[in-house]
Structure 1
Amino acid sequence: MSELVERVDERDEVLGVVDRDEAVRHGWVHRVVTIVCRDTTGRILVHRRPDDVSRFPGMYNWLLGGAVKVGEPYPDAAAREFKEEVGLPGQPRFVLKFLCPGVVCPYWNAVHEIVVDQPVRPDPAEIAWYAWLTEDELADLARQETFVSDGRDALTRYLTRSIPT
């Protein structure tokens, strides 16, 4: 058994609790939280996944994150995943949520953002390499085949979202 997640519907309402591997195998929608990490100059943390991970090995992404645990609110999941992946505490701010068709299976993606003013300490089991890129540099990288396609979809939504005034 891997980890338990909540199987949800197209309105993000809970249908039940399932094993995440089972959700993936059957294409059941579940919840994922992702985090955009920016530095104080506005650059975005971009990373390459390790070659030995099960999902998207060796591919580039700009989002940190993972599955939301059973009963865990999105903001708590974002804070937990951020600390696990870059070794810093923080409370990411919610930006947008959308139903992602996903390469592996569909999921609700709650995208959050955080600005850091200290060095990140990435977990090597999660991040093999990283750099800070401008939005334009990130957009160029996202066009490459070695970029996680779900991340490409989220990037388009993130950069074109309407910002309240």
Structure 2
Amino acid sequence: MSELVEHVDEQDRVLGVVERGEAERQHWPHRIATTICRDRAGRILVLRRSETHSRFPGYHDVMVGGAVNVGESYEEAAARELSEELGVRVPVRFMFKFLCREGISPVWFGVHEAVVSECLIPDPGEIGWQDWLTLDELRDVIDQWCFVPGGREALRRYLESGSGSGAGELAAG
């Protein structure tokens, strides 16, 4: 069965309901809910998508997430995606959203933050590898590893917002 999403405009207002594949083929903006996870020590979760993932296989990311279902809020979708992809149920906090024009098609990223202290149970169909990196470690790899489009921008905005340990250091480094 095809995945239905809300086709939105440049201001994130709903224009209609379409199949996600059609939105991507037509380059119509739609919504993606994402979460940047950190642990109590301030490390950020970095993951590598599985090699069989339908979008950006083998790419790294700092965001866990997926398409927002029709009628679903960004926050609901972010919490659902954390549970589906990492097997954790923790509160998510909405941070910001931005229109990302890089990648398969334009998407509105609704970026959330979650502090995760429980064990992760990653879905192997989604995630091939994950680790918690300090900001220094992340700074060493952010421009070397192949990241999902929008991931670097989301991380920069996240750190500039004052979130995470050492906010602003990565963007300035």
| TM-score normalised by length of structure 2 | 0.89
The 1-side partners of 2:83 and 2:40 are apart by 18
After superposing on structure 2, the runs of 4+ consecutive aligned residues of structure 1 that deviate more than 3 Å are none
- How far did residue 90 of structure 1 move? 1.8
Q: Is 1:115 matched with 2:115?
A: yes
- How far did residue 112 of structure 1 move? 0.2
Contact residue 78 and residue 91 of structure 1 kept, 8 A: no
Identity %: 55
Counterpart in 1 of 2:94?
94
Q: How many residue pairs align between the two structures?
A: 163
Q: Deviations 1:44-89 (Å, cap 9, x if unpaired)? A: 1111111111211111111100000000011111110110011011
Counterpart in 1 of 2:53?
53
Compared with structure 1, are the counterparts of its residues 134 and 145 closer, same or farther at alpha carbon in structure 2 (3 Å cutoff)?
A: closer
The 1-side partners of 2:159 and 2:20 are apart by 29
Contact residue 141 and residue 147 of structure 1 kept, 8 A: no
Structure 1: segments with no counterpart, 5+ residues: none
Counterpart in 1 of 2:43?
43
Q: Secondary structure at the match of 1:75?
A: helix
The 2-side partners of 1:114 and 1:145 are apart by 23
The 2-side partners of 1:144 and 1:56 are apart by 16
Counterpart in 2 of 1:78?
78
Aligned-residue CA RMSD (Å): 1.3
Structure 2: segments with no counterpart, 5+ residues: 164-173
Contact residue 60 and residue 145 of structure 2 kept, 8 A: no
Contact residue 90 and residue 115 of structure 2 kept, 8 A: no
The 2-side partners of 1:15 and 1:40 are apart by 40
Counterpart in 2 of 1:153?
153
